[in-house]
Structure 1
């Protein structure tokens, strides 16, 4: 069974997906981490993702050899564990940028479908219910106010011993929202049959419970009678 969780950066997708996967005994596919890994790999290869004109041919050649694996909560690219270097503000910006590249989206959608083939997965990202798994039996879309999301990010960074400026992060979140919503390919949007949840004033446990209830209902509906 495939369960998709899409939504805005900082809306709680990753934490909710992790908790729901553990509770259901499903595997977890963090697609945002895959885009971060691509951003990191391009940077390491000397490719400027923010250049005025991207080198699409070189990027396509590099992508051709990419194979992802996501054991546990780690992100492996061609067998190399990149988990420790991906979850920074810089990699978040890089992920949003490379997600606008058609060649990157095509490659990662194919990898995501390969990874979850015939498995039970919670698939978390921006386009899982709309573009990658449109036939998933349970879809969710999470949102929260930009101000709440900025507060959450500040708290997370400070907890990890990293510097954090609320105003800068708020501006960055709003910019990334616009970039995700307006990209020409697979823009961030709620699937028509997705359950939408505003997490602004809900606890993690409350959000997970709401998703759990829907998934259990969908599973019982899909089970053969008798």
Structure 2
């Protein structure tokens, strides 16, 4: 079974997707972390974030792996733990440029589909329901107000020791929304058959329960 959760930056997709996957015993794939890892790679190599040929050449030797941990999922780049590095402001503010490169998206989509083909999965991102897993049984488009998203990101950053003012985060999220929704390849948009969930006033438990209810309804319909 495939569950696709899409939405704008800071909408809580990763947090909710992880919890849903845990509840169902599914594999979780954080596609955003994959693009962030590619961005960290470009940064470490001193590559221009828009230099598609150079980034693609480097991607050939890049391995991205995920490992569970008591504190959450860890992300590794060629064996190096980059879980915190991919959340640094430098990465956050430039990942949209890297993820907009057509060849990079083609490569990552292929990797994501390969992961999804192996088992039941919950995958979150911005184009999962429209591009990566267009036949997913359950599609969610998760949104929240800019203020709410900035507040969530601020708390996450504080917990990780990243000090970015709340007002700055709001501006960064607005800019990220603009970049993601207007890029030429696989822009952020809601799939026609997605369930729209506005989580601005919902608790995490309420969001998870709403998605699990949709999964159960899908399973019941499939048995009939």
> C-alpha displacement at 1:154, in angstroms?
1.9
The answer for the alignment partner of 1:160 in structure 2 is 160
Name the CA shift for 1:55/1:156 in 2 (closer, same or farther; >3 Å): closer
Q: CA deviation at 1:39?
A: 0.1
Shift in Å, 1:2: 0.7
How high is the TM-score relative to the length of structure 2?
0.93
| Structure 2: unaligned runs, 5 residues or longer | none
In structure 1, stretches of 5+ residues that fail to align are: none
Task: Give yes or no for contact 1:4–1:129 (8 Å, CA) kept in 2.
Answer: yes
Give per-residue Cα distances to partners, 1:90-149, cap 9 Å, x unaligned. 222222221111111011001101112131110011110000000001000001111111
Cα distance, 1:45 vs. partner?
A: 1.1
Query: Do the aligned residues in 2 keep the contact of 1:69 with 1:115 (CA within 8 Å)?
Result: no
**Larger mean Cα displacement after TM superposition, 70-79 or 98-107:** 70-79
* TM-superposed deviation, 1:86: 1.3
CA RMSD in angstroms, aligned pairs only: 1.4
1:12-91 correspondence runs (5 A)? 12-49=12-49, 54-72=50-68, 73-91=73-91
Contact 2:4 2:136 in 1 (8 A): yes
Alignment partner of 2:140: what SS? strand
Distance verdict in 2 for CA 1:93–1:25, change over 3 Å: same
Normalising by structure 1, we get a TM-score of 0.92
Query: Equivalent residue for 1:216?
Result: 216
Distance in 1 (CA, whole Å) between partners of 2:215 and 2:90 is 34
Three-state SS of the structure 1 residue aligned to 2:213 is helix
SS at match of 2:74: coil
User: Take 1:78 and 1:161, find their aligned partners in 2: how far apart are those partners?
Assistant: 24
Compared with structure 1, are the counterparts of its residues 162 and 65 closer, same or farther at alpha carbon in structure 2 (3 Å cutoff)?
A: closer
Q: How many residues align?
A: 220
| Aligned-partner Cα distance in 2 for 1:76–1:163 | 23
Q: Retained in 2: the 8 A contact 1:68–1:111?
A: no
